[in-house]
Amino acid sequence: MLEFFAAVSASVCIAPSASFAAESWGGSLAATSDYLVRGISRSDHDPAVQTDLHIAFDSGLIGGLFASTTRIASEEHRDVELSAFVGFVWAQRDPWRVRVMASHYTYPWNDEGSKYNYDELSIDAAYRDWLDINLVYSPNIPRYQPETGLIGVAETSVDINFHTPWLHRFAATAGVGLADVGGPDGTNYLYWSAGGVYDRAPWSFSVSYVGTNSAAQYLFYNAAAHSRLTATVIWQY
- What residue ranges define each of the domains in the chain, with the CATH number in brackets? 10-236 (2.40.160.40)
Q: Could you tell me where the beta strands, DSSP code E, fall in the chain? A: 23-32, 36-37, 40-41, 48-57, 61-70, 79-90, 96-106, 118-127, 131-145, 149-163, 170-181, 187-200, 203-212, 228-236
Q: Identify the pLDDT of residue 147.
A: 82
What's this model's pTM, rounded to 2 decimal places? Answer: 0.90
Q: Identify the pLDDT of residue 193.
A: 97
Residues 6+ apart with CB under 8 A from 118: 104, 105, 138, 140, 141, 142, 152
Q: What is the mean pLDDT of each run of 10 residues along the chain (237 residues)?
A: 41 40 86 97 96 94 96 85 96 84 94 88 94 97 88 97 96 98 95 97 96 96 94 96
Q: Identify the pLDDT of residue 73.
A: 78
